[in-house]
Structure 1
Amino acid sequence: MPGEFMLRGRRREQETLDRLVRDVRSGHSRALVLRGEAGAGKTALLDHLAGHAYRAAGCRVARAAGVELESEIVYASLQQLCAPLLAHLDAVPEPQRAALATAFGLSAGRPPEPLILGLATLHLFAEAAAERPLICVVDDAQWLDRMSATILAFVARRLEAESVGLVFAVRTPGADEVVRPDETIRTGGADEANRTRGADQGAAQTLRGLPELVVEGLADADARALLDTVLPGPVDDRVRDRIVAETRGNPLALLELPRGLTATELAFGFTGRREEGLRDEGRRDEGLAARLEEGFQRRIAALPADSRRLLLTAAVEPIGNVPLLWQALERLGIGPEAAAAAESAELIEVGARMRFRHPLVRSAVWRSGHAAELREVHRVLAEVTDPEQDPDRRAWHRAHATVGFDDEVAAELERSAERALSRGGRSAGAAFLERAAELTLDPGRRADLLLRAARSRADAGSPDLVPALLATVELAPLTPLQQAQVERLRARVAFLTNPSPRSVQPLLAAARRLEGLDPAAARETYLMAIGAAMYAGRLGGADDLRRAAESARNLPPSPSFPGRFLAALTTWATDGHAAAAPLLVEALKSMNNREDLGLLWLVAPAAHEVFRVDIARDRAEQAIRFAREIGALSMLPTAMSFRAGNLLMQGRFSDASGMLDECAAVASATTIPTPPSGALALAAYRGREREAVELFEQTRAEARARGQGRLLGLTAYAEAVLRNGLGDYPAALAAAREGVSYPDPAVFQWTLAELVEAAVRAGEPGIAAEARDRLAVRTAAIGNDWARATQALAGALVEPSDELFREAVAGYGSAAMPVLRMRARLLYGEWLRRDNRRTEARAELRAAHEAFSVMGAEAFAERAGRELVATGEAVRTRRAGAPVDLTAQEGQIARLAVAGRTNAEIAATLFLSPRTVEWHLRKVFTKLGIGSRRELAAALKGS
């Protein structure tokens, strides 16, 4: 473990890290992301953190580092970080323990759900920290495999009171992060490297939103002092200032770039030519990272041949497995003495693992290796890798040791792809399939492999990588079915990345081509075309929806869910809501195949269109589980956004917010836009005007830029909810009228309900009555609890009666929609007060006020509070010196505790660790002035 040391010019950063360690030792948990360019000193700061935590603070330290070669291998970095902590695995409850064991290859089993795996990792960290505080250090996080990045980000966002610190170092992307076309990393070439680097930035984006510490260049004085330690002799002050300016105070650049250069070569800066140095002043034609690599390459070239081959072998073997390396080196005829020169040159450190001084050293070694040398290194690494213990890494090495075609190695890669896909590793599976295609001679077989790889890339949330794969597929002679599959996938990717009106025609063309070749694929493609037209809405072509629906009618009927769903939607598009409603209900009820959950983006709005919130809720939950199980990141953001909306309607605002946070983390690892419906609804119901309006304006701008008219309808609905909550009824009326100007599926009827309320309160009874009647056309065709309650409330607002209000309250209760039920009680209470029935009004308004306050619906709570005051009842306010109110999360934990849940059960429900639950309960007890769970129920009732 490194010792403590002071770094030049890094006092602020070191104090931040030391404070983090103090917080962890005091029982808190902290997460932090260090961001900076290559060579800024992030690794040195992590070394300081590890040394201080271990030696001075007595913490346990677990370290991992992302490795570029392993960024496609699912769970690679997570396993590296958790391996030293697995002694605590038995303390992790099932099924979390099984999820970790399966993910790390310790036992066989079903692919673990990432949510369960995230909870398991959180629990494992908490158990390890119970023994002594734990500091987890993750270097080069931009190279984490996506699933490791997603899970660690999930854990970092939920750390609170476990005595765990989780610190990441991420390289800031820049122009020098892209591989130039003439540069070939022999592990797959420039195209593969650029794909990997794009994925790496997705991993780094996953950490966005966590606390950050930006690591910048050193101040001029510190930079000059550091530079003086490596200059070969006296250098003109102007040249020294030129070097400091050129490196922008980057510590690694200051230390490495002058190495090996004579005083003469340094006379005019690094170039050795005054005119070139002056011409390049202030310009960065060549990236700093590339220039640093060149410095490392000079030092590598000066080493003996065996030392260079040792470095190359270590660069290709990504985890620094020293016993494996020595086995490989022995086969290459290289002895341990070869490491001495590389260590003396400060390029590697040899200990329990073989570690490069900096990731750029590894990159420089790659670039220094010749193709034949790299193939030889891969060959011996494949030979010494156990085919039973590590078959996938062995297959990868074999693949890169192979020149030309080799069907046997290709078949081995296919098996690795299947294993990766079964564990949820869509990106890893795609990488194996792509390499298998390169080794396959038969053009048709190669095309099939590349098509499978392209589908996996799209499912993994990387649709931007698909077009290049499809272009390669089209170089081979294709069957009509393969050509149709190419067109379908290309159109699907265009829709995934931007579901705009431009997606409709390519999807229709692909569907028509598939009609006689693959009717099932044709149906799914027609569904996408109809869905694209629906999402385009008012910004789409006037006849796009009808044209798509009429074209789909050419297909023969099918009893499958896609067939029944397509028939129902074509009826909706051509004959209207009333004719389609029973067909939609029956189709949605028949959805029982998990593979159909990829249609959730269309299923959920259709379910709301027929007032079947239960179907929308159940399908969103199923889709989240399925997407996590198979690693389909492209499906997760949509499913999470819809699930957040369902949680919101259940009054679980904190859970909805947590789901949206996780959704943002997953979406940041993909290039697929996140549906904003859940975020819009949450902002509207929370009632924080400034925050909500900013989100509305941003969403409207994005909707117009992308041609997504349905987003305009969603935003208008959300603004109507916000304004009704705030009591700004003229603004609510304007927003609702804008929303109902186009019949967006589901959104239209939601907005009609808001329009009735806004028009009544704004003194526009005619508009309210018209909206009520338009709504009746929708609700009459359904007749379930939600529909009847919605119509009863609209009727009660236009023509008030106790019977209608009570019907609405009861109906929303039966439909398990607490938010709408409380809105109905608020409206009922307001009418009772105006009817001078104050005692009855207080009961309704009090219930609404308390419920909205607990939920976090701030505007509606204030509105109910104003009405309560108008009845003559004093609304409870906080007394000076009284305990503060419980937070939303504290309230949830307290209610679950009252219900008899254990800390472990509460933790699993709220995605927390048991220690965090215990910490929150202690805070609840302090705030309420009690000492045990037995007193909770009474204290909550009286608070």
Structure 2
Amino acid sequence: MGLRGRQRELALLDGLVSAARSGRSEALVLRGEAGVGKSALLDSLVARSETCRIARAVGIESEMELAYSGLHQLCQPFLAAIDRLPPPQHDALGTAFGLLTGPPPDRFLIGLAVLNLLSDAAGRQPVLCVIDDAQWLDLMSARILAFVARRLVAESVVMIFAVRDGVEHELTGLAELELSGLGEADAAALLDSVLPGPIDPRVRDRIVAETRGNPLALLELPQSWSAAELAEGLAPGSLAGRIEDGFVRRLEPLPADTRMLLLTAAAEPLGDATLLWRAAEQLGLGADPATAAIASGLISFGQRVRFRHPLVRSAAYRMASPQERQAAHRALAEVTDADTDPDRRAWHRSQATSRPDEEVAAELERSAQRAQARGGFYAAAAFLERAAELSPSPGRRADRALAAAAAKRGSGALDAALALLASVAAGPPDALRAAETEQLRGQIAFDLGHAREAAGLLLEAARGLEPLDATRARMAHLEAMSAAIWASGPDAPGVLAQAAKAAPAPAEPATAADLLLQAFAKRVLRGYAAAAPDLTKALDEARDAIVRADDLRSWLWLAGNRAAGIIALEVWDLAAAQELSSRQEQMARETGALVQLQFALNFRANLDCLTGDLAAVARWVEEGRQIAVATGQPEVAFGGLLLAAFRGAEKPATDLIEATIAAATEREQGRMVDFAFFAKSVLCNGLGRYDDARDAALRVFDQDVLGYGVLVVGELAEAASRTGDTKLVESTLAWLTERVTATPTDWGLGIEARVRALLSADEEAYRRSIEHLSRTSLRVEVARTQLLYGEWLRREGRRVDAREQLRSAHDLFTTSGLEAFAERARHELLATGETVRKRSPETSSDLTAQEAQIAGLARDGLTNPEIAAQLFISPRTVEWHLRKTFAKLGITSRRQLRTAVS
């Protein structure tokens, strides 16, 4: 309350609390060096915020390996309301905190649960969350709290994080307030308040200057100096190091039992006083070792044990000998309940020994399994890494190191996982372990976007697994095939054929994975006609298996769904592609698997581009972008790329296409490069740049890219016909005839009839194309045929007939937002003598992207909680956006959204 020189900072923090009382939410990172006064500011803010409900958490460096420990501190006051959460969020948070058992929860479902807990509490009273030393939060807590902080809008919640300069943290992107030292006058006054007597003004000025006004240094250092040192001022060294050294010097004169008590408190991160006194009794400390500790002012004992500053904790721990630290951890392990807190007990036991101990290593391994079951991959990796260090057997040491590397991959620490694999290789020879190591290397390479490298590593792993574990070998082969599909292209010749040739014969009875693998292999090696029966059978079996799947985290949708989606396109099965897209989206939402959700949304966006629903495409693309922002993951660019191409705005679309090609080429993602060239062919055909469209489409067509041929063949035939390349049109027709003969669908037959009409000027073929395509939801393809048909009729001098086709095409292109194609149709109509003005599709242009998305979901009947769960925001934020939307649209009810939002 009486902080010197902090009026500006206090006013800013008070303003955040005032905003919360008015219904707004804010998040702020308070950043500065150790001792600069971050904790004092937080304490002052809490004392000034009597009208708020307070939640506090403190990051503790020694507790960083225990998953969700920081999050549990913060959420403890609100857990009575956990039963009011939607079931997926309730189960995720309950599992994370060990209240329930279940599959590993997704961290973003946990984040949404925390957001809703805070929002629910703030509905009755503004909530102030203060998180001190946030740089020491365990990884899962830090990521989830960062997610929550980024989603705060209208919940009446304030979150303030204090982080130390120079230490990495997960809070990037949030608003920051940098806290510097006090001004000279305030710093000098603070120093004078703790000096035992007057000193030379030049020495005082030197101390103020060298501490840079750091309040903790000014308050604490003089108390540990001798008179001679006070006369000389500061010694060399970093400020944090000097402060900690000062605390060490204040600790050294204390009785041995008192120092041991402080060491034990430093080793016990919970601050549980009862546990500390039991450990002190276990250590045989004196009758009252706390008296001198309390007199020092460095620690306080109440219901919780609190150090004067985190540097006191580190000083107490650092000054002890290894034997003393082990004794403290051993005592804490003895008094920690093995039933209620087995993981913290295991960690203390592991720190109490310096030599291999299989019993302790096995206990750590069990802790890792519990942590992983709660989704704490980072904690699991820490337990397993320490278990490996304590394993007497070289083989067990290597096995546990491999498991730790896999857990690190699960936590996203890919570089750390690769580094750990080096120690696995140093273990005794073991064929299964070697193959599993190679498989993990391949998976990490794929995670890093190096698809070509991943394909080679995964293929080698699959070969190593074949004589040892046939089931795992097939999964590795499917992973290798997937990586090869992504890598295939002119820069990676033969990579797909190599994966296909290595595919093993299916098991008996064949599973959906077997059938998918065999179908892909036959398609790559023997061509479409030979593979068509296998492709359709694999697609049917995969769809049935996905419907029957009990484990939504199985390969069936992590890999099998996307593989089946490629096959659905290969065989021109639009209904299957749409079903798979919808199912993948549903499953990803239910399980909170956001990376998979991004892919599902982009697959759905691509299909909706073909149906002409660009408004829906824009919503899927925006949701994918929001997920990327919320997760810190790269944005999946498929849908946005094709949306830009179909809209036909030349400059932004071209820039996006070229940037995608450059990035995908650098990462050896040949499939992404091919998709960008397909998008370029769409853009250039719309703009009438037929030479460029032909060249872009031909690059994809010549490679026979899986799943993309059906998309690009129409673009290639149209561009080739407009550039007079009859032979190229003939080759596209032959390609189409082979496929529609093997797998006849209205989609394929409609495109085949269109290309036949382009080649032979067969009017009946144009009509057949429109007839077939009209039986599907491919409205854009219908309009594309009508445009080509109308252009041909006009050239034949049949202006009246041409107008009918061109009007239909122009109306569809205009209302859907395909501006370049609409302009092509408009010019053709003008050439027939018809007057037609430029029109723009009707849009709610005043709405932001998120407002339009929320309005569309509300129009479709979703409730505020359902919209909030889908978009990873709180129901109060949904309500806030809807109020703004109603005002912009001039409506007063959700019912009116049906007509106000197209």
| Fold shared, TM-score > 0.5 on shorter chain | yes
Query: What's the CA shift string for 1:680-734, capped at 9, x where partnerless?
Result: 4566567777766665555444434333333322333344455667777666555
State how 1:91-490 maps to structure 2 within 5 Å: 91-171=84-164, 174=166, 201=168, 204-205=169-170, 207-208=171-172, 210-213=173-176, 215=178, 217-218=180-181, 244=209, 260-261=224-225, 270-271=234-235, 290=241, 293-333=244-284, 347-348=298-299, 350=301, 352-490=303-441
Post-superposition offset of 1:130: 0.5
List per-residue Cα deviations over 1:523-547 (Å, max 9, x = no partner): 3333444444433333645344333
Task: Give the aligned partner of residue 26 of structure 1.
Answer: 22
1:915 aligns with 2:876: yes
Residue pairs, 1:739-778, within 5 angstroms: 739-740=700-701, 742-747=703-708, 749-756=710-717, 774=735
1:595 aligns to 2:546 (yes or no): no
In 1, Cα distance between the equivalents of 2:730 and 2:188? Answer: 79
Distance 1:445 1:514, change over 3 A: same
The alpha-carbon deviation at position 215 of structure 1 amounts to 1.6
Q: Give me the whole-angstrom Cα distance separating, in 1, the residues matched to 2:203 and 2:410.
A: 55
Q: Select which of 870, 876, 898 maps to 1:937.
A: 898
- Contact 1:894 1:924 (C-alpha < 8 Å) held by counterparts: yes
- CA change 1:625–1:906 in 2 (3 A) is closer
CA drift of 1:131 comes to 0.2
Structure 1 stretch displaced more, 620-629 or 543-552:
620-629
Corresponding residue number in structure 2 for 1:572:
523
Structure 1 pair 940–641 and aligned structure 2 pair: CA distance change class (3 A)? closer
The SS at the match of 1:420 is: helix
Residue 488 of structure 2: SS of its match in structure 1? helix
Contact 1:409 1:436 in 2 (8 A): yes
- Of 367-376 and 698-707, more deviation after overlay is shown by 698-707
1:740 deviates by: 4.5
How many angstroms does 1:168 deviate by?
A: 3.3
* Structure 1 partner of 2:619: 654
Q: Residues 744, 898 of structure 1: CA spacing in aligned structure 2 closer, same or farther, 3 A cutoff?
A: closer
Equivalent residue of 2:437, what SS?
Answer: helix
Deviation at 1:133, TM superposition (A): 1.6
Per-residue deviation at 1:757? Answer: 5.7
CA-CA distance at 1:127 after TM superposition? 1.0
Give the whole-Å Cα distance in 2 for the aligned partners of 1:769 and 1:223.
86
Q: What residue in structure 1 maps to residue 75 of structure 2?
A: 82
Aligned CA RMSD, in angstroms, stands at 4.6
Return closer, same or farther for 1:522/1:348 CA change in 2, 3 Å cut-off. Answer: same
Deviations 1:25-70 (A, max 9, x none): 2212333444555556544454454444x23xx2222222333333
- Cα separation, partners in 2 of 1:23 and 1:692, compared to 1, 3 Å: farther
Corresponding residue SS for 1:538 = coil
Residue 180 of structure 1 corresponds to: none
Taking a change above 3 Å as real, the CA distance of residues 488 and 442 of structure 1, as seen in their structure-2 partners, is same
Partners in 2 of 1:271 and 1:539 — Cα distance? 64
1:523 aligns with 2:523: no
Other-structure match for 2:779: 821
Deviations 1:199-243 (A, max 9, x none): xx5xx34x44x4321526459768975886689676787996798
Residue 398 and residue 575 in structure 1: after superposition, are their counterparts in 2 closer, same or farther (change >3 A)?
same
Deviations 1:72-120 (CA, angstroms, capped at 9, x unpaired)? 3333222221111123334334343343333323344554444443332
Query: Does the CA contact (< 8 Å) of 1:235 and 1:266 recur in 2?
Result: no
Contact 1:713 1:740 (8 Å CA) reproduced: no
- 8 Å CA contact retained: 2:147, 2:631: no
**1:413-812 mapped onto 2 (5 Å cutoff):** 413-538=364-489, 540-552=491-503, 559-591=510-542, 592=545, 594-596=553-555, 597-599=557-559, 605=566, 608-611=569-572, 612-614=576-578, 616-617=580-581, 620-621=584-585, 624=588, 637=595, 640-647=598-605, 649-650=607-608, 651-663=616-628, 665-666=630-631, 676-677=637-638, 680-681=641-642, 696-721=657-682, 735-740=696-701, 742-747=703-708, 749-756=710-717, 774=735, 781-784=742-745, 787=748, 803=767, 806-807=770-771, 810=774, 812=776
Displacement of 1:610 in angstroms is 4.4
- Amino acid across the alignment from 1:212: A
SS at match of 1:74: coil
What TM-score, normalized by structure 1, do the two folds share?
0.78
Percent identity over paired residues: 44
| Aligned position for 1:887 | 848
TM superposition shift of 1:895: 4.1
CA–CA distance in structure 2, aligned partners of residues 549 and 317 of structure 1: 55
| Shift in CA distance, 343/120, structure 1 to aligned 2, threshold 3 Å | same
- 1:737 touches 1:755 (CA, 8 Å); kept in 2? yes
Q: 1:665 to 1:917 in 2, by over 3 A?
A: closer
Normalised by the size of structure 2, how large is the TM-score?
A: 0.81
User: What SS does the aligned partner of 1:745 have?
Assistant: coil
**3-state SS in 1 of match to 2:56:** strand
- Judged with a 3 Å threshold, the aligned counterparts in structure 2 of structure 1 residues 107 and 770 are, in CA distance, closer, same or farther, namely same
Structure 2 match to 1:184: none
Say if 1:901 and 1:502 are closer, same or farther in 2 by CA, change over 3 A: closer
> Distance between the aligned counterparts of 1:139 and 1:298, measured in 2?
26
**CA separation of 1:664 and 1:69: change in aligned 2, threshold 3 A:** farther
Instruction: Write the distance in 2 (CA, Å) between the matches of 1:253 and 1:569.
Output: 67
CA distance in 2, matches of 1:359, 1:862: 67
Equivalent pair of 2:119/2:876 in contact (CA under 8 Å): yes
- Structure 1 residues 840 and 914: alpha-carbon distance in aligned structure 2, compared to 1, 3 A threshold: farther
1:865 & 1:306 partners in 2: Cα distance?
91
What is the alpha-carbon distance in structure 1 between the residues aligned to residue 702 and residue 107 of structure 2? 41
- Which structure has the larger Rg over C-alpha atoms? 2
